[in-house]
Structure 1
Amino acid sequence: MLDLHRLRLLRELKHRGTLAAVAEALSYSPSSISQQLSVLEKEAGVRLLEPVGRRVRLTPQAEILVAHTEAVLERLERAEAELAASLRDITGVLRIAAFQTAALALVPDALSRLRERHPALRVEVTECEPETALPALTARDFDLVIAEEYPGSPEARHAEIEQEDLCRDEIRLALPGVPADAEGLRAGAEVPWVMEPAGTASRRWATALCRGAGFEPDVRYESSDLLLHLRLVEQGHAAALLPDLIWYDRPANAHLRRLPAALRTRRIFTAVRRGGGDHPAIRAGRKALAVGVGLRDSRGLPPDSFGVFPDGDESAERSESY
């Protein structure tokens, strides 16, 4: 009989990559993890790991076991959800991961609603970019992830993750100082830029957008902190691509221009492990976020929240050209 605990260790190794990472995540020693996997090999009667340099990788037989383990864990997720749904109160722990602007603009209000309606539910929040949060969701470090997808840059969708749309968020070109005469994105061709670090989905999208407009952005500043991006724009140091969520609690005090219609809006969604979407705590978390988004949309934004345009009206706002 195969031991589920050891099967989960094998699954963790697939998702985390190294024995050391599994050991750190589960508070074991690497030697203990290795011993447990050796026992699993004996139980299975096949070789599960093979050395690759100083690391190990899963054999085809191990991949078969992991696939079945995923199916078993999905059923357990559904069982936990059904068990929790049978109780009158929502209790336990809900672990949420959110990228920065969602953590600032959407999460605090959702926390207030959850505290008011489900006081016995403990909610833990970690600010974490989707590139890190989604694999961590699969590895069971989080229960609910708020993630983003940039226009024209779809990310791979994993079979073990369920997604649900939350909202759309427009991204605009924010220009430092007095805007250039050039239209659309070309207005950023002659000024320094601040962007997120190389390798991130945001950076890939922003670079491709500028190249599509016919120029290579002069990226002098790199940061994953969009509040720093905003400050650099406000102080006249750099151009940036800023999402509307950044103005959640302040008027837009930058020169903003809209991007082409097909490229201006990022998709914000929530993600859970397959089988976990019916858990009452996750349903409550998603509902609290959706209510906040609905209230924000119904309130709208003040007339001056979309910045000052170079010709004094909204003609630049309406332009969709590069």
Structure 2
Amino acid sequence: MFELRRLRLLHELALRGTLAAVAEALSYSPSTISQQLAQLEKDAGVALLVPDGRRVRLTEHGIALAAHAARALELEEQIRGELEALEPGVAPVRVAIMQTAAQAILPRALSLLAEREPALRVEIAEMPPEEGLFELSARGFDLVVAEQYPGHTRAHRAGLDRDLLGGDPIRLAVAPDDPASTLAELRDRPWVMEPGGTAARQWATQQCRAAGFEPDVRFELADLTAHVRLIAAGHAVGLLPDLVWAGQMPTVRLHGLPGDPTREIFAAVRRSSASHSGIRAVRDALRDAFADRGQLAPTRAETAPE
């Protein structure tokens, strides 16, 4: 008989690739992971892992059992959802949320939940969308708030459902006294962008290339409030979504971009847990908070794109 706890370790190894990564994600020691997987091999009666340099990799039997483990975990989650329906609010809902959504819609969503589901415990972690969606697949979180940039398709992970919360316009941002109003005028300026490998960085770079230049990215920062301060001080220019203002008056000069691009903000959940009452309540509160956020603060200045 297979223990679900050990099957999860094999599933995690298939996702994360190394014993060290599994140990870090689950707060176990690597030796504990190795011991539990060795016991799983005894239970299975076949080799599941083989050495591969300083690491290990799954054998064909290991790959097959990892796939069965994923299905077993989904079934276990569905069972827990049915049991929770008999006594809602028992299990906490773990949410990974990107920075701008945490600032702009999370406080309102939590207020709605306090009114609707006062016994529900919600645990929040700020996390980039790419990392959050991976951890959602790995069962590190129950719900993730992420983004989809226009014309930039984000890979769909198997077993995840997305629910659109709303659209978030993106604008060109320069210092308050900067007369520039188009991308082409900023070809020789220093830029601030999010780190390489993120959808935000790829999209912003493509906008500059479409305007005929390669951006001089001198500042790579994940924190968009740092973007705002660098731009406001005249040290950089950038592209900012409206949610970054969270209802506050912008401190930079903003201009529209060609085509008025808007990123989609969505909530993602595992299909196997989508029916959990607590997860549904959090998803509904986030959607309502996005709709209730009202008009964002008026821009300091805005011109139509040429």
Alpha-carbon deviation of 1:252?
Answer: 2.5
Aligned equivalent of 1:172: 171
Alpha-carbon deviation of 1:63?
Answer: 1.7
Aligned equivalent of 2:267: 270
Find the aligned partners of 2:289 and 2:61 in 1 and give their Cα distance: 46
TM (normalized to structure 1)?
0.89
Identity of aligned residues (%): 52
Asked if the contact 2:89–2:121 (Cα under 8 Å) also holds between the matched residues in 1, the reply is: no
Alpha-carbon deviation of 1:85?
Answer: 1.6
Matched, 1:291 2:288: yes
Aligned CA-pair RMSD: 1.8
Find the aligned partners of 1:237 and 1:179 in 2 and give their Cα distance: 11
Find the aligned partners of 1:128 and 1:285 in 2 and give their Cα distance: 17
Find the aligned partners of 1:189 and 1:124 in 2 and give their Cα distance: 43
User: After superposition, what is the alpha-carbon deviation per residue over 1:215-255, rounded to whole angstroms, capped at 9, x for unaligned?
Assistant: 11121222111011111121222111100101222122422
Asked if the contact 2:13–2:19 (Cα under 8 Å) also holds between the matched residues in 1, the reply is: yes
* Matching residue within 293, 300, 315 for 2:295: 300
Please state whether the residue corresponding to 1:68 is helix, strand or coil.
Answer: helix
Asked if the contact 2:98–2:146 (Cα under 8 Å) also holds between the matched residues in 1, the reply is: yes
AA of the residue aligned to 1:307: R
Find the aligned partners of 2:150 and 2:54 in 1 and give their Cα distance: 39
Asked if the contact 1:170–1:243 (Cα under 8 Å) also holds between the matched residues in 2, the reply is: yes
Asked if the contact 2:2–2:43 (Cα under 8 Å) also holds between the matched residues in 1, the reply is: yes
Find the aligned partners of 1:213 and 1:248 in 2 and give their Cα distance: 29
Aligned equivalent of 1:65: 65
Task: Quickly say closer, same or farther: Cα 1:253–1:29, change in 2 above 3 A.
Answer: closer
Asked if the contact 1:92–1:120 (Cα under 8 Å) also holds between the matched residues in 2, the reply is: no
Find the aligned partners of 1:155 and 1:9 in 2 and give their Cα distance: 27
Find runs of 4+ consecutive structure 1 residues off by over 4 angstroms.
Answer: none
Find the aligned partners of 1:281 and 1:46 in 2 and give their Cα distance: 40
Alpha-carbon deviation of 1:118?
Answer: 1.6
AA of the residue aligned to 2:11: R
Alpha-carbon deviation of 1:266?
Answer: 1.1
Asked if the contact 2:171–2:241 (Cα under 8 Å) also holds between the matched residues in 1, the reply is: yes
Unaligned runs of 5+ in 2: none
Unaligned runs of 5+ in 1: 310-315
Matched, 1:197 2:195: yes
Find the aligned partners of 1:248 and 1:177 in 2 and give their Cα distance: 19
